A and B are shown apart, each in its own frame.
Chain A
Amino acid sequence: MNCHEAMPLLAAYSDGELDPVQSAAIEKHVLGCTDCAVRRDELASLRSRIRSDVPYYTAPPALHARVKAALARATDTPPNERPARDRWHWLTAGALAGSAATVFAWFVGSAVLDWQVGTDLVAETVANHARATLGNRLLDVASSDRHTVKPWLSARLDYSPPVQDFSADGLPLAGGRLDYLDGHPVATLVYRYREHTIDVFVRPSIGGRAASSPATATLRGFNVAHATGAGMEWWGVSDVSADVLQSLVARLARGPE
């Protein structure tokens, strides 16, 4: 190993990120190289000064008390008195599957997809999803950054789909893809939920259809949720539970905050 190879690895070496073989190679190189030895010592000295000279702020006792009180308040509030937005978060997290909140929201929010209108499209979305997850073409643009995914899709379509990331809610955006739906190219947003993949097909809503809350269907074991909102039609397809899928689609149809 020479300096060109060793220098960029010194930080990773001192952070304990190298495997034993690479570490040994660095150690061997540093023995014979003053420059790299100086650099390694600088890193070590900075670290030890941070450890000794810079305060680590531990949580004050009052904060422990505040947090416990806040948690008690949060869990003692009956779920169906929560504001709508909170209820959505509960659903997204799937935290209360089978509990009062879920059942409540389910009755309020759900409708069975109108099969007369939707059969072909439902079948098409499921076929698209199955094809993508079976093959290797799950993502055309892999990024959790909506500012990357949105321009990529807009550049290839005659509309610009709203793109949102819900990492904080456990539904990270994985990227985007182009598909065909109803004879037209369509933007597909790909989300992850635990080990599941969720495809959401987005296209402009036709004739300014009124916003609708999600309707769901099941086909060949996949759940499909459909909603209209934010000027778009949203079709979610996945093997996740219907309530998670439905809440994602509802959130997308509500548009960016």
Chain B
Amino acid sequence: MSARADRTRFEEVVLPQLDAAYNLARWLTRNGHDAEDVVQEACERALRYFDAFRGGDAKAWFLTVVRHACYDWLKRNRPSEIAPGDGSEAIENAADPAMLTPEQAVMRNASTSALAEAIAELPVGYREVLILREFEELPYKDIARVVDIPIGTVMSRLARARALLQRSPLLHAIRDRSAGAER
């Protein structure tokens, strides 16, 4: 097959997954500009490895490549984020509502940004399984493949991510505040 014919097939298979790729990269890098760079890099890699794609689920395959590119980016730019450790302290400390300035409190009063922020503050290992599950609705076995962990670990990370979100002091503060406002 010529390189051009390869590319046509590649574009048919992979380009429909560009939103999923960008969303994952955007949540892992937490920055739109870097996410774009990472997705472009991932596309170039995916084209090179295209023959290793065995058919089947293009989304899971491509997201695996995207995740690798994200981790390479994190290694270069934010190595501390992928350091081992469960990072629960980070999320529990990061969002202390008592520390908010009035402007931040106003910003965060919209529950939209509060939940999004709590997700952005999840340790990356939890964040990625949550994004793949809640946004991409990948089955556990595909998440296991993309993240390269056993299904049992997918389940425990998801449980932990959800527990961290439900316990997030930021969310509680907002819930309390809005409950107060309704009274």
Contacts and interface: CB of A to CB of B under 8 A. Distances in A.
Contacts of B73: none
Contacts, number: 131
Given A11-B155, A46-B165, A54-B115, A59 B6 contact: no
Contacts of A63: 18, 22, 36, 39-40
A64 B36 CA distance: 10
Contact of B133 (A15, A70, A169): A15
Interface in A15-64: 15-17, 42-43, 46-47, 49-51, 53-60, 62-64
Main secondary structure of the interface of B (DSSP, over half): helix
A144 B153 CA distance: 14
Contact of B21 (A53, A59, A170): A59
A256 to B, nearest CB: 15
A161 to B, nearest CB: 21
A117 interface: no
Contacts of A70: 40, 43-44
A95 B6 contact: yes
Contact of B48 (A11, A49, A64, A93): A93
Contact of A71 (B11, B21, B114): B11
Number of chain A interface residues as a range? 35 or more
A123 B134 CA distance: 52
Contacts of B114: 53
Interface residues of B, number: 52
B52 A169 contact: yes
A8 to B, nearest CB: 9
Given A57-B26, A71-B10, A46 B21 contact: no
Interface stretch (A84-92, A106-114, A128-136, A180-188): A84-92
Nearest to B133: A15
B51 A56 contact: no
Contact of B47 (A17, A43, A71, A167): A71
Interface in A62-117: 62-64, 66-68, 70-72, 74-76, 79, 86, 89-90, 92-96, 99
Contacts of A54: 112, 115-116, 119
A15 B140 contact: yes
Contacts of A95: 6, 48-51
A151 to B, nearest CB: 16
A72 B40 CA distance: 12
Contacts of A168: 45, 49, 64-65, 68
Q: Which 9 residue pairs of A and B lie closest in terms of their CB atoms, listed nearest first?
A: A170-B52, A95-B51, A59-B22, A93-B51, A57-B26, A75-B3, A59-B18, A75-B7, A58-B19
